[in-house]
Structure 1
Amino acid sequence: MRIVKAEIFKARIALKMPFKTALGSGQATETLFIRLHTDDGLVGMGEASYMGTVVGETLSTGAAAAVEYARLLLDKNPLALKPLTKQMRSLLPNNPTTRSALDMALYDIVGQAVGMPIYALLGGERRPLTTDMTIGIDTPEAMTRTARDYVDRGFSAIKIKLGTAYREDIERVSRIRAEVGDDIQLRVDANQGWDHVTALKVLRELSSLDIQYCEQPVPACDLEGITYLRQLSPVPIMADEAVFDQYDAFRLIKRESCDYINIKLAKSGGIDTAMSISSVAEAAGIKCMIGCMAESRLGLTASAHLASALDNIVFYDLDGAEMHIDDPIEGGLVYHHGGEIELPTAPGLGATIDQTFLDQLEKISVTS
């Protein structure tokens, strides 16, 4: 078997409402969809959802990188997962989001070739997953209304975006806790928005509100700051933007800089490196979360396969597609009441994209 063609589609999927974090705001997600074709007739699907402020890639730069990755993969055997993922990283090491789409498509092909869903291909089983829902930065009043809506829809865990002014962040969380009661799990995410002094001040104030953890309170480059916080904060610290691969994970764990790690395929470059991150964390007794950018259900299905296969992943933040106006995905994971996720059992990814939707997109083809 060999790869004979790659198709690259540039998409922009509108959000139901603007979404704001400490890193910026947006009204749509920019996404690259990938199709890899083999001479045996198998087609692998992948998705790259871009957040340039985190990964340093955009839809335009990603499309250019995807062409280079596709040229590398042409005429190669897709079953050689390890060598191919290593070669892609060596070719363009600083394009993890784009690389994750090609990685995803390769795993899709391999799963189809052996007749196994990806979670089984990874040695796991189909286990229950329940996502949280995320509230973007807004006024405390608006965020509280959103939290009430999520609880009324059955969600038991809510992630609150913070990272602005100290008093406003405290008010946001305090109002939400008062509104939803004590039985709802609350998590906060500053997206690098605080310095370590402000972060400690905020987290000490929030400690009485039973916060499950705080994601990336300080800039990713501030290893001293996150280590300082982990030592003094009453709220557990989760590293996110500071961990792209297993080497980052090892560095933070060795410094005792975090309690948890957030794994995202768009940061790690795909399933292969994500598994390595989880293995390093598991060896150190560090639990992980599977997170997302703003992927459609295609990319989120790959993430859910990974989470289902690895029991060291115990937190699930796979709500990206819930924010989209349109859903062009056929098959794939299904959301149920309260964020329960049902994984497909079909071989490979178990998801594809509506052809009518693809026909409307700009396409780049790479062939032998």
Structure 2
Amino acid sequence: MSRIEKIQLHDLSMPFKEPYPSAIATLTALQTLLVIVTTDDGTIGFGEAAIVEGYTHETRQGGWDFCLHYAKKAIGLHCQEAMALWLEHRSLHSHAVAALVSAVEMAMSHPLLGPHAETVAVPMLAPVNAKNKSQIHDEVDRLLAAGFKTLKVKVGFDVASDLERLTWIQAHVNGRATLRLDGNQGYQLAQALEFVQSLSPQCIELFEQPCKDTDWEAATQVARISPVPMMLDESIFEPQDIEKAAQLQAAQYIKLKLVKSGGINPLMADLHSITQHGMQRVLGNGVASEIGCWMEACVARSTIVNAGEFNGFLKPRDHIFQTPLCFADGCIVLPSGYWPALDMSAIQRLSVQQALIHSEV
């Protein structure tokens, strides 16, 4: 059984092509923690986690400190021992844990990651970020021409303007795509109730997380009267949160991300739990590099039947894979035999801080 020989940490800042707005924050760069693991038999794996403060209780500096501390503890351990050590801390540090654990899972050639014998195309959605009517029309047309069949509309700012913008989008889409709404915890309960009561369900697949992640009563009340299915995202971090959502009937959909589950195997267990509790599952992180998006697409190809949200790799100006992750016709495309390698020159250029942890012997 392989042991952990070396762990490299990089804190990356990858500028976006254009700002990415949400009710939580407007992001101008992908700031992500990169973990590169080398085992004593020479295999290499890597994982990442972008910590967006406000989305999670974790902080970027806290994630760096956790990875640095627990990487040191893992040197010389068997891979399974290291992952077990890290996963003990999933509830408080899921993002940092996911970066560490998924790197080892890749080094161990997790079967879901491939390389695949055939070319795989995994559908994604795309966000509509434009604000005024003419720009919305142009952006929607461009996204539809690029092959996207599901579009994401961020709300949670102001009820009246959100509804007006949504009406413009619905009218222009006119049945050519499905819409997925995302409140990003931006509404108070009264605002969320006003929004769903005024909402036309035309083309809308679901409405995601309108209220604060800890406000389960608000989630339940909105779900009770909404004309479209509700989805929880920020409220879901641990397996018991999935069970709670089912018991309260607070959502028909649950969205997961690799960074919330703490690794590929825990993510698979969480996806299974959603189905076991009678809900539908959505997967994907819109704030991730090629690493996280590749891993989530590999998981989604056999577990998800709707559009994935793993489109974060399209936002930065830079690639960090030697052979960039491929996009075509609204999908991530994984050619047969695809297995990524890192572009270390790009990573060095984009690193804000870095560390190397290895045995002193």
- Same fold by TM-score greater than 0.5: yes
Task: Write the distance in 1 (CA, Å) between the matches of 2:134 and 2:156.
Answer: 17
In the TM superposition, residue 210 of structure 1 has moved relative to its aligned partner by 2.8
Change (3 A) 1:5 1:282: same
> 1:145 is aligned with what amino acid?
D
1:287 is aligned, of 270, 280, 284, to 280
- The aligned counterpart of 2:333 is 342
1:226 is aligned, of 219, 234, 239, to 219
Structure 2 counterparts to residues 262-301 of structure 1, below 5 A: 262-301=255-294
Tell me if the contact between 1:140 and 1:168 (Cα under 8 Å) persists in the aligned partners: no
Change (3 A) 1:117 1:209: closer
Task: Name the Cα RMSD after superposition.
Answer: 2.3
In the TM superposition, residue 58 of structure 1 has moved relative to its aligned partner by 3.4
Task: Write the distance in 2 (CA, Å) between the matches of 1:332 and 1:265.
Answer: 20
Task: Write the distance in 2 (CA, Å) between the matches of 1:156 and 1:137.
Answer: 18
1:317 is aligned, of 309, 318, 330, to 309
Tell me if the contact between 2:286 and 2:309 (Cα under 8 Å) persists in the aligned partners: no
- The aligned counterpart of 1:239 is 232
Tell me if the contact between 2:6 and 2:356 (Cα under 8 Å) persists in the aligned partners: yes
1:367 is aligned, of 341, 345, 358, to 358
Matched, 1:329 2:332: no
Tell me if the contact between 2:20 and 2:28 (Cα under 8 Å) persists in the aligned partners: yes
Change (3 A) 1:163 1:188: same
1:355 is aligned, of 328, 331, 344, to 344
CA offsets 1:163-222 (integer angstroms, 9 cap, x no match): 011110001111011122212111110001112222122123223423110010111111
Secondary structure of the residue that 1:7 maps to in structure 2?
strand
2:96 is aligned, of 98, 114, 139, to 98
Change (3 A) 1:127 1:201: farther
Matched, 1:156 2:162: no
Change (3 A) 1:143 1:56: farther
In the TM superposition, residue 28 of structure 1 has moved relative to its aligned partner by 0.5
Q: Can you give the 5+ residue segments of structure 1 that lack an aligned partner in the other structure?
A: none
Secondary structure of the residue that 1:351 maps to in structure 2?
coil
Select between 127-136 and 31-40 the one with higher mean Cα deviation.
127-136
- The aligned counterpart of 1:34 is 35
Secondary structure of the residue that 2:97 maps to in structure 1?
helix
In the TM superposition, residue 128 of structure 1 has moved relative to its aligned partner by 4.3
Secondary structure of the residue that 1:10 maps to in structure 2?
strand
TM-score, normalised to structure 2, is 0.91
Task: Write the distance in 1 (CA, Å) between the matches of 2:145 and 2:229.
Answer: 27
CA offsets 1:297-356 (integer angstroms, 9 cap, x no match): 111111111112324x5331111111111112134642112x122235548xx2222021
> 1:279 is aligned with what amino acid?
H
Q: Percent identity?
A: 25
Tell me if the contact between 1:13 and 1:326 (Cα under 8 Å) persists in the aligned partners: yes
> 1:342 is aligned with what amino acid?
V
Matched, 1:166 2:166: no
> 2:276 is aligned with what amino acid?
A
> 1:236 is aligned with what amino acid?
P
- The aligned counterpart of 1:304 is 297
Task: Write the distance in 2 (CA, Å) between the matches of 1:272 and 1:126.
Answer: 23
CA offsets 1:231-279 (integer angstroms, 9 cap, x no match): 2111100010000121111111111111000001122222232222211
> 2:187 is aligned with what amino acid?
W
Task: Write the distance in 2 (CA, Å) between the matches of 1:243 and 1:21.
Answer: 19
Q: Can you give the 5+ residue segments of structure 2 that lack an aligned partner in the other structure?
A: none
Matched, 1:74 2:75: yes
Q: How many residues align?
A: 356
Change (3 A) 1:118 1:153: closer
In the TM superposition, residue 96 of structure 1 has moved relative to its aligned partner by 1.3
In the TM superposition, residue 91 of structure 1 has moved relative to its aligned partner by 4.3
TM-score, normalised to structure 1, is 0.90
Secondary structure of the residue that 1:213 maps to in structure 2?
strand
CA offsets 1:71-130 (integer angstroms, 9 cap, x no match): 23211222x2xx544421324641211111111111101117xxx552689xxx986420
- The aligned counterpart of 1:205 is 198
> 2:264 is aligned with what amino acid?
I
In the TM superposition, residue 19 of structure 1 has moved relative to its aligned partner by 1.3
Task: Write the distance in 2 (CA, Å) between the matches of 1:58 and 1:137.
Answer: 29
Secondary structure of the residue that 2:285 maps to in structure 1?
coil
Structure 2 counterparts to residues 101-140 of structure 1, below 5 A: 101-111=99-109, 116=111, 118=113, 128-136=121-129, 138-139=131-132
Select between 92-101 and 289-298 the one with higher mean Cα deviation.
92-101
Secondary structure of the residue that 1:70 maps to in structure 2?
helix
Change (3 A) 1:139 1:9: same
